[in-house]
Amino acid sequence: MELGKLEEVDLREIWPHEEYNFSEWLSKKENIENLNEILGLNLTDIVKETSVGGFECDLYAVDETSGIRVVIENQLEQSNHEHLGKLLTYGAGLDAQCMVWIVKRAREEHRSAIEWLNNNTNSQINFFLIEIHAYKIGSSLPAPQFVVIEQPNGFTKYNYYSNASLSRAESERLEFWNKLNEKLIEKGKPFNNRKPSTRAWYDVAIGKRTSHIAIELVNKESYIRVGLYITGDKELFDKLWDKKTQIESELGQSLEWERETTEDVSRIHCKIKGLNFDDHSNYEELITDTITLVSKMKTVIMKYI
């Protein structure tokens, strides 16, 4: 078998200008997905050149499900002090929880600086240092590749903790979400995975700010709840309610419809019974059923939104 040789491409051949070419490219939905994979977020409302005093942030975005504010500083050169200063300035000016610095080459001094910031800031502030490379084989189109140089320790700072500090319930949830992510990858990722956490819920973005699908572990009552959560948008709930018969028929599943909960949230959901943190023997089946239901629910619901 004849094999090609992987060659690195000069970034400036692809993106001559950081603002007009690279930032513009990265802001596109199909391209930001490459970064979402690394961050474990689903960035939406991406704005280019957001003003911060007399400066302009390359990219500013919000995570669709958590509301986390993210600033992205692009530098298609070796990292320098000026851009590190910009990253901190934009993060402070926009009150961001996640700062992402994308560079051609990361100097050791700046790698150490980002590591220090992650180790010495509070749990709500997170820093990423990422290199961008591009490769081609022969006359093929160049393919971009993001390489993480520094990130929050084990990416634990979004509610992930060292195993020593976990309660029993937190440890069980973390194990379940890890297993779910493994199964998602095995199935070709029918929906985007998120970083596993100790929380009882796992949110799945559907491309609409007011809505998302949530997977909830309710161990006390021995079930997994899967459903669409709608924040504030009663018109959307009513629109879906009018299609209740069709939606349930296509899902092959009866649903519980709650227009009002204790907060300004509507919920359309069902339960998968059999969850037991003390017995993992049915986890394979539970997780498979959960992934199947989420995938189907996302497909069906999106037809009526």
Q: What are the residue boundaries of the structural domains of the chain, listed by start?
A: 6-155, 163-304
Q: Count of CB atoms within 10 A of residue 154's CB?
A: 10
pTM of the entire structure? 0.57
DSSP-based three-state secondary structure for 156: coil
* The two structure tokens encoding residue 56: 């302009």
What does each C-alpha distance from 187 to 127, 164, 213, 239, 287 come to in angstroms?
31, 32, 19, 32, 11
Query: Confidence class of residue 158 from pLDDT cuts 50, 70 and 90?
Result: very low
Asked if 104 and 131 touch (Cβ cutoff 8 Å), the reply is yes
* The two structure tokens encoding residue 141: 């189109």
**Nearest Cα to 156, choosing from 176, 170, 140?**
170
Is 226 buried (19+), middle (13-18) or exposed (0-12) by CB count in 10 A? buried
What's the mean per-residue pLDDT of the chain?
87
List % helix, strand, coil for the chain (3-state, nearest 5): 40, 30, 30
Residue 268: pLDDT above 90?
yes
Which residue, chain included where needed, has tokens 């709840």? 225
Q: So what CATH class is 163-304?
A: alpha beta
The reply to whether domains 6-155 and 163-304 share a CATH topology is no
pLDDT digits (tens, 9 = 90+) for 192-212: 777 777 889 998 888 777 888
* The two structure tokens encoding residue 91: 């993060």
Quote the Cα angle for 98-102-105, to 5°: 140
Give the lowest-confidence range in 3-7, 95-99, 232-236, 295-299.
3-7
Q: What is the DSSP string of 205-250?
A: E-S-TTEEEEEEEEGGGTEEEEEEEEES-HHHHHHHHTTHHHHHHH
* The two structure tokens encoding residue 296: 């189907």
pLDDT digits (tens, 9 = 90+) for 102-144: 999 999 999 889 988 987 887 678 899 999 999 999 888 999 9
In this structure, which CATH number among 3.40.50.300, 3.40.50.740, 3.40.50.720, 3.40.1350.10 belongs to the domain 6-155?
A: 3.40.1350.10
Query: Confidence class of residue 156 from pLDDT cuts 50, 70 and 90?
Result: very low
Q: Cα separation of 59 and 44, whole Å?
A: 11
What amino acid occupies position 183? K
* The two structure tokens encoding residue 197: 């956490």
Q: Cα separation of 129 and 50, whole Å?
A: 20
pLDDT digits (tens, 9 = 90+) for 276-285: 999 999 999 9
